[in-house]
Amino acid sequence: MPLRPLRAREIIRKLERAGFTLRRQTGSHARYVHPSGHGVTVPVHPGDVPVPVIRSILRQAGLTEANWDAL
C-alpha cells in the first residue's frame, strides 16, 4: 500500500508500536528514540504530515514501507 499523509498522532502510535519512546519535545517537534539507538523527530503540527516527511521519518527509524504498513 503506498504511503499517504497521516496525522502526527497516527505516526507516533506506529512508532510506539515499533518500540520507540518519547525522549523530549521542544515546541512542535517531538524526539523519539529506539533502544537500538535510532532517533526520529516527528513534527507535531495540526493537519497531516506530508508523504516526503513520512519517508524521512522511516529513513531515520530504519524502517521500510512494508514494516510501516504492518504496524
Checking if the pLDDT of 5 tops 80, the result is yes
Give all domains of the chain, ordered by start, each with its CATH number: 6-70 (3.30.920.30)
CA distance 33 to 64: 17
CA distance 66 to 17: 14
CA distance 14 to 68: 7
3-state secondary structure of 53: helix
Q: What is the mean pLDDT of the chain?
A: 96
**What is the reported pLDDT for 12?**
98
Alpha-carbon dihedral of residues 32, 35, 36, 41, nearest 10 degrees? 0
Query: What is the CB neighbour count within 10 angstroms for residue 44?
Result: 16
pLDDT in tens, 23-46: 999 999 999 999 999 999 999 999
Checking if the pLDDT of 1 tops 80, the result is no
